[in-house]
Amino acid sequence: MIELVKITPPEFDVIIDLAYATPNNFTSRPVYKKHDCYLHEIAAKHLQKTIKLAAGLGFKIKIFDAYRPTEAQWKLWEHTPDPHFLAHPASGSPHSRGVAIDLTLVDHSGVELDMGTAFDAFTPQSFHGDLTVSAEAQKNRRILLGIMTASGWDWYENEWWHYQLFNPRGYRLLSDKDAGTGMM
């Protein structure tokens, strides 16, 4: 049985700010009924290493999204069917497998580092290698990329905030009912 792990402080020393549990996302409405954050148990182990590596550099992790039920993926796709930034729900998102996370870094006072764009800014400036964002944002993206890859995550070139386990399609898709999270 696949276990999703609920990501909660203090066990996970992170800030949780799930965009899709609020109207502060590209749909302008809450997609999730609950502000609960989950990851596949293997991804949760990688997150623990991420937290330690970030802390060693004086940063903390802020999570925008993690496990996303397949029902939520359909809602996002129906709103914005853009395959450059959203996986088609029929093939499934790594988020809907519990093996992807959207995040940023914050400094010791809880302020997000400048990454050049906001989370879910569906523009070419969100690409990891975009050179039109400030030098500071480029540096911060590379720090995040280094922390994430050193702790075992793969990256998606179109979104500086998105990381996933390698071979995400090797994990099964989970609906809200399958996962038993009550998020939808």
Any idea which residues carry the catalytic annotation? Answer: 159
Greatest Cα-to-Cα distance within the chain, rounded to the nearest angstrom: 45
Q: Around Cβ 177, how many Cβ atoms within 10 Å?
A: 12
Q: How far apart are CA 182 and CA 41, in angstroms?
A: 18
Strands (DSSP E) found in the chain:
4-6, 14-16, 38-40, 60-65, 100-106, 154-155, 162-164
